[in-house]
Structure formats: structure tokens, C-alpha cells
Chains A and B, each alone.
Chain A
């Protein structure tokens, strides 16, 4: 990989990490604040099932300012951060035409996604 591509990859990685941590913490703190303001006397709903269903649930609940929506969104952002970092790495390797590591990156992304889908099947 050339110096220029490598520098771009580093910059993108750092920004993915910073934005993800910021979004995740902000979302969780919003959820915890709403939870405390609303009386803090009940346990928010624990999500389960397909990731797509959890995302749809988060959107619905967020419209009602329900704390679990913000908490779920925060943990989902954190969960997807390593995947986003992997995807950025694969994109950089495609630009560098390093097909061996494009393949390895895709296999790793596939393994992470299999984890998501087997969880919902066994739930």
C-alpha cells in the first residue's frame, strides 16, 4: 500500500473510532438521563431477535423518547464500530489492489455477521 493510501486509511480509521465513541457515549448518556428523569423505577426492555428488528424497534421507541431506544442505539453503534473499521480496511485494500487481504477482510466480516444471525436463530 502506498504512503498516501496508508495515510488516508489511518485518517479514516481514527475518524471512524472517534465518531463512533462520541455517538455511542452521547446516545447512552441521553438514555440514562431520560431514565433518571422519568423516575428510574423500571427496567428498560431487553432487545432480542434479528438486528434489523432491533433497529426498527429503536427507531419506534426513540420517537417516544423512551430511554431503552437511546441505550440500544448506543450499544449498537459500539457493536458496529469494529465492522466499520474492517470495512474501511477492505476498501483501502481494494484501492491498493491487495486482493489477498481483501479476501481475508471479507471472511472476517462474514464471520462477525454470522454471529449476529445465528444469535437470532437460537433466541
Chain B
């Protein structure tokens, strides 16, 4: 494929990833890595390195609308980021030692898991924790956020297991070039029992920092083509901007489920590649 055609394909792919990410909440990495490996036939480590820059772009582009609402719990994000960045560092360090087929298998499984999670009911209305756990008190993790005209206080629990999940989320992010938002929200929403909006905003804050930990590794390692990464970044930012506006008028839940079905087919393709078929 000529460099010009490559740029056009990646710009369009990044744009699609940005729109899908904004509309469905499923990360752009799940679109970009298969595009770069299955369509452009890039080595997986290069696709992962480039995708991580798309993840940083998604997180950075969405961040300004969360600042000032109190939705993003900065203390909690920093505390859990120690775990996520440690996992990301570990993932980056072993990324070039693992066989590509194993990585394709893991990627396929994570894609299938994300697709299945899209069909499960949300936990938006579930009651939050009543009291803080001792660790949450020690690190002052409880906070509050603005909902309309009033402030809503919330408590934090199950800090240790969530910390463990964050190590795994960071590890997978670095290994697969994804934001791992589905695991971060799982830890904060289901385990720590934070309000859903707080989980999402705090997860977005962390995703960029986690991706930056391993993206620097991949860049120094020579895995990041500036032409392809630059096209991904511009495409993702433009797509995310448009997607955020379309969100108000399109049937997001139905789209999320349609995309999950598409994701399942791509996951099977990645799994077959992993099995050498």
C-alpha cells in the first residue's frame, strides 16, 4: 500500500474509532489495533505502540469537559494510577518478548469480553457504599460531585482488590494498545461502588496516564511510525468531537450493541490469527 493510501486509510480508521469510542464507550484501541494488523499488516508491537497514542488522544480530548464538575476524583485517580502505571510498565517491558500469536489470542479474548459486557445491564441505579473502608479513609478517597444544582457525597470501599485490578488493567493496556477502560470501570463501579459518572470520568483521567507510561516505551523502542500515529491522532480527535455531538441524537444503546456484534466477529478473526488459522 502506498504511503498516501496508508494515511487515508488510517485517518478514516482513526475517525471511525473516535466516533465509535464517543458513542459506545468502547475504546478506540479495539478498532485501531485490528485495523493496523489485519488491514495494513503492521507487526502487532507497532500497532500497539501507535494505538496507545490514539488512546492518549481520546483521553486528552474528552478530559476538559470533566474538569470542574467534580466527576473526576483526582485523589482516587492518582492513588490507583500507581497500580495502573506499574502494570503498564510491566506490560511494556515484556511486550517484545511474547510471541505475537499469544498477543492475538489475548486481544481476541479481551475483545469478546468487552462485547459481552456491552449486553449486560448497567449498574447506574445501584446504591453506593455506606461507609469508607479503612484504606479509603487513610487516603481520603471519598469525595463529592455536582449533579445539577446540588452536590452528591459518596463513599469508597474495596480499595485493595480494585488496586489489584488496576495493575492488570495497566498491564493489558500496555500489551494490547487499549485504554482498558472496561476493566477500570469494572473496578470502580462494581467493586468500589462509586457512582457510575464518577467511575467513567475518573477512568478517562487514568487512561491517558496509563497509556503515556507505555507509549513512551514503544516510541523509544522505535515502534511508532510518525506518519501513521499522526494520522491516528488527528482521526481519533475529529471522530471523538463529532461523536460527542451525535451522542445527543443517535440511539446510543442500540449502536453499542450493534458495534459489540461487529467487535465479536473481529475478535474471532484475531483469535483465529492467534491459533495460526
Known: A21-B61, A85-B209. 4 other contacts (CB 8 A): A48-B222, A81-B56, A104-B82, A118-B89
Q: Which residues of B contact A (CB under 8 A)?
A: 2-4, 7, 53, 56-57, 59-61, 63-64, 67-68, 74-75, 78-79, 81-82, 85-86, 88-89, 92-93, 96, 139, 208-209, 211-227, 229-231, 233-234, 237
Decide if B92 touches A119 in the complex (CB within 8 Å). Answer: yes
Decide if B82 touches A78 in the complex (CB within 8 Å). Answer: no
Please, which residues of chain B bring their CB within 8 A of the CB of A85? Answer: 63, 208-209
Q: Which residues of A contact B (CB under 8 A)?
A: 10, 13-14, 17-18, 20-21, 24-25, 28-29, 31-32, 35-36, 40-51, 54, 67-68, 71-72, 74-75, 78-79, 81-83, 85-86, 89, 100-101, 104-105, 107-108, 111-120, 122-123
What are 10 of the A-B contact pairs (CB < 8 Å)?
A: A41-B3, A68-B226, A79-B219, A81-B56, A104-B78, A115-B216, A116-B219, A119-B216, A120-B220, A122-B96
Give Cα distance in the complex from A105 to B4, angstroms.
Answer: 42
Nearest Cβ on chain A to B42's Cβ, whole angstroms: 11
B215: nearest residue on chain A (CB-CB)?
A: A79
Give Cα distance in the complex from A93 to B7, angstroms.
Answer: 42
When the two chains form the complex, which single residue of A50, A68, A82 contacts B209, counting CB atoms closer than 8 Å? A82
B170: nearest residue on chain A (CB-CB)?
A: A111
Please, which residues of chain B bring their CB within 8 A of the CB of A45? Answer: 226
Decide if A111 touches B216 in the complex (CB within 8 Å). Answer: no
Decide if A28 touches B233 in the complex (CB within 8 Å). Answer: yes
Give Cα distance in the complex from A24 to B221, angstroms.
Answer: 21
Decide if A75 touches B60 in the complex (CB within 8 Å). Answer: no
Give Cα distance in the complex from A24 to B3, angstroms.
Answer: 21
When the two chains form the complex, which single residue of B61, B82, B208, B223 contacts A107, counting CB atoms closer than 8 Å? B82
